[in-house]
Amino acid sequence: MLSLTEFPRVLTINQVPKVFHEDSIMSGYRRPRSSATDCILSIFQLTNETLNIWTHFLPTWYFLWKLVSVVLIQTAWQHTFTWPLVVLLLSCCMYPLASSCAHTFSSMSARVRHICFYIDYAALSFYSLGSAVTYSAYVFPDKWVNGFFHRCFIPLALLNSFICTVLACYSRLGFPFLHYNPRVVKRFPEYQSPRFSKVLRVAAFAYPYLFDHIPLFYRVFLCVGEGCTDSHTNVLHYRHIALAFLTGFLFATHLPERLAPGSFDYIGHSHQLFHVFGVLGTHFQVSALEQDMASRQPWLVGHSLPITFANSVGVALLCLLLNLAVIVVFSLPLLTAPACQKNKHRKPS
């Protein structure tokens, strides 16, 4: 059994390359050339990533249990009306697992760090598509059902998901053909303009979220009178929306650590809170959608667009393939670069 003395010493921000720096986090960094085994063992050591890992790894199992219960207990494969919920729950399993793995292995090298977070961004993008699929199936207010926007909603959400992944990946190192060229390394967004890189990343995820939630926002905040689907599930939707905006605020502002750099390095910094509130928001989102699905099924089956393989599981598979292609395109230059260029992404002189 490991003793605490066997864990490597954690480092300060001045002891790791710039690519590993986190805003206002001054200590608790792992060695930047850790092995995969070191990374796995580090989840049992208190570092500035430990709670980032566990706050998404544990919820993965909760959402996996939800997914299995829908597939096995509700026999989802026999009822097409349940397919959108399966897509959402699959995305709810993928995004915390991808995030947990990214935070676990991000200290192996600069290359691995970038690729890990490319996968993380793609999983979040897929989650946005999963949300859109379920909102199209269960959430649209009665008066919008079968309208032009409803018919265009999922194709536009798929396009947004693809754009989201591209922009989020671009925000790290720019376009792939610029990778590892020493003459242009300072042009990479994270080096030339860290603030622009951050804003671009926030926008990349905020836009799909806001688009996907247009029917829900209209239903719970603006719609009045007949056809507005005034439901008791709106309370759960309110909780999800509030938590979603809180997670976005934390991600964008880096509070509270920005107010007291070094005081929240291990516990309580914004990314940990971002994970916790994000998962809680997803829990309320899934609960609300399950209730909408159950309570509105008789009406939706007779009036809404039919749920088919193409507008549920099919579009989810297409989204996965598109996002995988984006990851490959952005990762290939990192994987094929000569070994002697591993250090090109350290802090430029």
Distance CA 30, CA 311 (A): 44
Distances from the Cα of 139 to the Cα of 67, 145, 315, angstroms: 20, 9, 18
Q: Which domain holds residue 148?
A: 49-339
Residue 342 pLDDT > 60: no
Does residue 251 sit within a domain?
Answer: yes
Better-predicted residue by pLDDT, 152 or 341: 152
* Centroid of chain to Cα 209: 11
Q: How far apart are the first and last CA of the chain?
A: 43
In the chain, the number of structural domains is 1
Tell me the two tokens of residue 115.
């690729």
- Please indicate, yes or no, if residue 183 is contained in any of the structural domains: yes
Within a 10 A sphere around the Cβ of 6, how many other Cβ atoms?
A: 9
Angle at 135 between CA 129 and CA 139, to 5 degrees: 175
Q: What is the mean pLDDT of residues 239-251?
A: 96
Structural domain contains residue 41: no
Angle at 60 between CA 330 and CA 64, to 5 degrees: 110
Closest CA to 213 of 136, 274, 278, 277: 136
**Which pLDDT score is estimated for 174?**
77
CATH at residue 133: 1.20.1070
Residue 282 has pLDDT above 60, yes or no: yes
Bigger pLDDT: 334 vs 258: 258
Q: What is the mean pLDDT of residues 311-321?
A: 97
Which DSSP string corresponds to 18-34?
GGG--TT--EEEPPTT-
Distances (CA, A) of 239 to 88, 202, 232, 235, 292: 18, 21, 13, 7, 15
Residue 128: burial class (beta carbons within 10 Å; 0-12, 13-18, 19+)? buried
Q: For residue 155, what pLDDT is reported?
A: 97
Task: State the pTM of this model.
Answer: 0.91
**What is the C-alpha separation between 300 and 144, in angstroms, rounded?**
12
DSSP 230: -
Residue 161: inside a domain? yes
For 104-125, the pLDDT digits (tens) are: 999 999 899 999 999 999 999 9
Q: Answer for the pair 130, 90: CB distance below 8 angstroms, yes or no.
A: yes
Indicate whether 40 belongs to any domain. Answer: no
pLDDT at 30: 97
Q: Report yes or no on 12 lying in a domain.
A: no
**317 pLDDT higher than 70:** yes
Q: What is the length of the chain?
A: 349
pLDDT of 127 reads: 98
100-to-57, 123, 178 alpha-carbon distances in Å: 5, 11, 28
Determine which of 46-60, 77-91, 152-166 has the lowest per-residue pLDDT on average: 77-91
Tokens standing for residue 320: 């996965």
Which uninterrupted H or E stretch holds 97? helix 83-105
31-62 confidence digits (pLDDT tens): 999 999 999 999 999 999 999 999 999 999 99
State residue 8's pLDDT score: 87
Whole-number Cα distances in Å, 103 to 26, 57, 76, 97, 336: 17, 10, 33, 10, 23
| DSSP secondary structure letter of residue 241 | H
Nearest to 119 by CA among 326, 334, 345, 332: 326
Rounded to whole angstroms, the Cα distance separating 174 from 243 reads 31
Instruction: Decide if pLDDT at 193 tops 80.
Output: no
Helix (H, G, I), strand (E, B) or coil at 204: helix
Residue percentage of the chain with pLDDT more than 90: 76
Is the CB of residue 102 less than 8 Å from the CB of residue 119?
yes
Mean pLDDT of all residues in 246-254 = 94
pLDDT at 340 over 70: no
- The residue type found at 63 is F
Residue 185 lies in a domain: yes
pLDDT score of 3: 46
Percent of the chain scoring above 70 in pLDDT: 88
Are 88 and 130 spatial neighbours (Cβ–Cβ below 8 Å)? yes
Look at residue 74 in the predicted model and tell me its pLDDT. Answer: 72
pLDDT for position 78: 77
| Residue 266 in domain | yes
- Beta-carbon contacts of 250 under 8 Å, excluding residues fewer than 6 positions away, are 270, 271, 273, 274, 277
| Predicted confidence (pLDDT) per residue in 225-242, tens digit | 777 766 789 999 999 999
